[in-house]
Structure formats: C-alpha cells, structure tokens
Structure 1
Amino acid sequence: MVLDDLLDVEHRGWQSLCESSGADFYGTLMLDDGVMILTHGYVFDRQQVIDSLNDAPAWSHYEITEPRLIELTDECAVLAYRGTAWRHGEDPEFRALMSSVYVRRDGKWRLASYQQTPVPE
C-alpha cells in the first residue's frame, strides 16, 4: 500500500534527524532537483539541505499524525500530515503541517518536494 510505504519513508527520515544522520538520508532520498520549503521562509535545494543537516541539532523525538495520501499517478504521490518534534531542553515543540511529494524512480520512492506550514499555537 502506497500510504504505508510513504509513511515508512517519512518515519525513516525523522529517525535520521533524531540520529543526526539526516544529511546522508536526505542526500540519497531527494531528487537532484528536489527542494525543501521550510517554515522560516527558506527554500533549499538538495545540496543546501545536505549542508544544513550536517550542522543541525538532533531532534529527541517526533510524532506523525493525521496522514493523508493523494495519489497523483502510479509513480507520484503526495503525503500530507501533522508533524510535531521536540529537541532536548527546547520549549515549545515544533509543530507544522507537512507535505512531501514523492516520485517512484527505479522502483524506489524519491523526494521531489517537501513543505512545512507552521501550526499557530
């Protein structure tokens, strides 16, 4: 099932961010021309994502809730969800609505675009 497959990819991505291995994970997962649109108004290309994650502090834990799948084609889908993440010693938690656009290439899901929209308190 596509929803389960993409949720597994998202969980592996978040886990890599908790283990400080996000640069390697997203460097492999993202398409060469992929982008991440982040809550602070940044639009990062693949190399900028890798560079930023090399210096990013690890998350201590996270939650993915309310997942929704939009299948655009057999080879392209959008996964949208509410994400919450915590870092040790930081308050409040990071909360955002997130969407990831995936494209299947050579039998593997690859990240084309990721966007965060902050959830107001």
Structure 2
Amino acid sequence: MPDSGVDIDLFRRLEQALHRPEVRGSSDAVSALLAEDFREFGSSGTIYDKAMVLEALAQRAPAAASPLPVILDFAAQALAPDIVLVTYRSVRPPHGDDPERAVLRSSIWQHAEGSWLMLFHQGTPVPSRA
C-alpha cells in the first residue's frame, strides 16, 4: 500500500508507543493516544472501547521485561486529509513459556483536538508456521 505522502515515521512512532510498557502502564499516556469514541476488535475477539482499554491496562500487573514486537510491512495511507489507515504485522519473539506470536494489525488515526488520535484498531492473529 503506498504511503500517499503521509509521515510514515510519525505513525510508526505512534503505533510503537502503544506497544511500550511505560506507555501501556500509564492511563494518561494511553488516553492521550485514543479518541473518545475509540473502538478495538482485539486479537482475542473481544470488542473494546476506550474506557475498557484503560480499565484492562490498569488491572494488569506490570509485565516483566519482555521484548517489544518487531514491526514488519508497515504502511500508512491517507484516506482523507485528517484520516490515516495504518497496517502492519507485529511479531512478538518467544519469551519464557510464551511462543512467538504474530498479529496483523490495522489502525485508523484521526487528526482531532490538535493531535493524531487512534479511532479504531484491529488485531488478527496469524497462525504460527510449523
């Protein structure tokens, strides 16, 4: 998918921020990246809104230092002047008893309130290669 003149590095940084434990551990940091009417179709099959994401992250125990996912095939495309579609594959390396996990991801970002806010996200697990 072509980048359509979009600042692809900006959107890569925004997406990667949401994978970082120091951001995920801060309700304020996550809240600042999500639109008020945010919706997610999680890789687990659960549908989340912004309040549910913030609550779920607040209830999680701080994760042990696990490797950040590798981001592959990253693309960003403007759908409108203030809307950008981001797609990529994240691969979390094996860690402890957890096997490698790959997920196809798509996000819609909207420029609002003076910044880019994630409006929608979907994670689709990719079967492991045997």
Identity rate, percent: 26
> Which residue number corresponds to residue 50 of structure 1?
54
> Which residue number corresponds to residue 60 of structure 1?
66
Q: 1:68 to 1:44 in 2, by over 3 A?
A: same
Q: Are 2:18 and 1:13 equivalent residues in the alignment?
A: yes
Task: Provide the C-alpha distance between the structure 2 equivalents of 1:49 and 1:87, rounded to a whole number of angstroms.
Answer: 24
**Structure 2 counterparts to residues 23-102 of structure 1, below 5 A:** 23-57=27-61, 58=63, 60-61=66-67, 62-86=69-93, 88-102=95-109
SS across alignment from 2:121:
strand
Task: Provide the C-alpha distance between the structure 2 equivalents of 1:34 and 1:55, rounded to a whole number of angstroms.
Answer: 19
Relative to structure 2, which stretch is displaced further, 54-63 or 67-76? 54-63
Return the structure number with greater helix share.
1
Task: Provide the C-alpha distance between the structure 1 equivalents of 2:119 and 2:93, rounded to a whole number of angstroms.
Answer: 25
* CA RMSD, 1 decimal: 1.9
How far does the alpha carbon of each residue in 1:69-116 deviate from its partner, in whole angstroms, 9 at most, with x for none? Answer: 121012100110001225742321221000110000133110100100
Higher gyration radius (CA):
2
Shift of 1:22: 5.0
Letter in 2 for 1:51: E
| Cα pair 1:102 1:112 within 8 Å, conserved | yes
Task: Provide the C-alpha distance between the structure 1 equivalents of 2:96 and 2:26, rounded to a whole number of angstroms.
Answer: 20
Return the structure number with greater strand share.
1
Structure 1: any 5+ residue segments left out of the alignment? none
| Cα pair 1:13 1:22 within 8 Å, conserved | no
